[in-house]
Amino acid sequence: MKSETVERTLTAIALIGILYIVINQNITLRRMEANCMIEGGDIAKDSLIQELTRYQLALDMLKDEDPKAADAFETLLYTKTE
């Protein structure tokens, strides 16, 4: 009887320990995923800003060389939805 109680107690302690480890690992993985998403978002944002800057510079150069073409391009750029 006493050994059965000890066995059940040890089993319960082991299950609690395993549950603690699983929950702790899940929390750690979620934090790591969140950090990756933030870093990836920053990289994507910087890349997008660089690309927009390139388009703006190209449009400014086109305005100097051919204002009519620049106006047509801006019209397409800001009105085209597809």
pLDDT of residue 81: 60
C-alpha distance across the termini of the chain, in Å: 76
Q: What are the residue boundaries of the structural domains of the chain, listed by start?
A: 2-79
Burial (CB count within 10 angstroms: exposed 0-12, middle 13-18, buried 19+), residue 80:
exposed
pTM over 0.75: no
Q: What are the tokens at 7?
A: 């066995």
Q: What are the tokens at 52?
A: 């927009």
Are the C-beta atoms of residues 56 and 63 closer than 8 Å to each other? no
- Closest by CA to 77, choosing from 59, 54, 51, is 59
pLDDT of residue 82: 57
pLDDT mean for each 10 residues of the chain (82 residues): 87 90 88 70 74 86 89 80 58
